[in-house]
Amino acid sequence: MSLKVTVLGSGTSHGVPAIGCDCAVCRSSDPRDRRTRPSILIEVQPGSNLSPLNEPAASPPIAAAADSPISAAARSILVDTSTDLRYQALTNNIRRVDTILFTHAHADHIFGLDDVRRFNAIQRTPIGCYGGAETLDSLRRMFAYMFSPTAQIGGGIPQLLLFQIAGPFSMGGVDIVPVPLLHGRLPVLGFRLGPFAYLTDCNRIPDESWPLLNGVHTVILDALRHRPHSTHFTVNEALDVVARLGAKRAYFTHICHDLPHAQTCRELPAGVELAYDGLVVEIA
């Protein structure tokens, strides 16, 4: 199998620079210190044959996903629709989104959803959106104009199909394993595809989720800052996760303005670095 993962946004909810902040990172001229809101794009390279899962979780697959007409073309997978989606799509020349996976429904992860209209227009198909039950409920409530439209829709509304994730599922030969995480008290989802995992917005990996991560060698992981936080891993906590995973490569994301890119990377152990907007990670 082969995946191309592009970090579209590596910043925390405020983005970096933060509005009205004059700190060294917010004033930095290093482009890697400019962080938009968190999101990644996973492109499954043509001819990929994602290897079967080691141990599929016991929970049942979502029935609708396997039979969906959109499933066969799931080659360009967007994880979350960040506040900065339009800018990220233009910057990274994203021309196609087949599927959207949602980690949770916090504003920084969903408020770009309206921009998906452009992909509907280009592709002329609805786009499948996958998330946990609570996330989908929040989307329906927060974007009522999309899911309970009135007669006048002006410039149009995104054409979306919502699928509730109840366990691992496959699309177009790609196995997607949802990984339950805790973001403070809020349950959120990370995602595993083959040897790669994206684990953002979390400060704890529950015991039952560790087996789902067996064999992961490349991870993009939440690490907000050094100071403790009630809903995000610190750098040291994230390093503990990397060690326990045995991951060969780790990239930290959801980074706030406490962490200057170059200096922080110099302090991290081999194989671990801060992600940055535009970073491409190839997974062979």
Q: Which positions lie near Zn ion, rule CB under 5 A?
A: 18, 21, 23, 26, 106, 108, 201, 257
Q: Which two tokens stand for residue 31?
A: 């482009």
Residue whose CB is less far from Zn ion, 98 or 115: 115
Q: How far is the CB of 186 from Zn ion (least distance, A)?
A: 7
Closest CA to 75 of 99, 107, 109: 99
Residue whose CB is less far from Zn ion, 63 or 262: 262
Q: Which two tokens stand for residue 76?
A: 């360009």
The answer to whether 203 touches 225, Cβ cutoff 8 Å, is no
The answer to whether 83 touches 113, Cβ cutoff 8 Å, is no
User: Strand, coil or helix: what is 232?
Assistant: coil
Q: Which two tokens stand for residue 181?
A: 């995480």
Q: How far is the CB of 39 from Zn ion (least distance, A)?
A: 10
Q: How far is the CB of 88 from Zn ion (least distance, A)?
A: 15
Q: SS3 string of 133-170?
A: HHHHHHHHHHCHHHHCCCCCCCCCCCCEEEEECCCCEE
Indicate the DSSP class of residue 16: B
Residue whose CB is less far from Zn ion, 102 or 119: 102
Residue whose CB is less far from Zn ion, 162 or 182: 182
Q: How far is the CB of 263 from Zn ion (least distance, A)?
A: 15
Residue whose CB is less far from Zn ion, 257 or 261: 257
Q: How far is the CB of 198 from Zn ion (least distance, A)?
A: 12
Q: Which two tokens stand for residue 100?
A: 């959207």
Phi, psi of 113 (to 5 degrees): -60, -35
Q: How far is the CB of 270 from Zn ion (least distance, A)?
A: 28
The answer to whether 223 touches 208, Cβ cutoff 8 Å, is no
Residue whose CB is less far from Zn ion, 21 or 121: 21
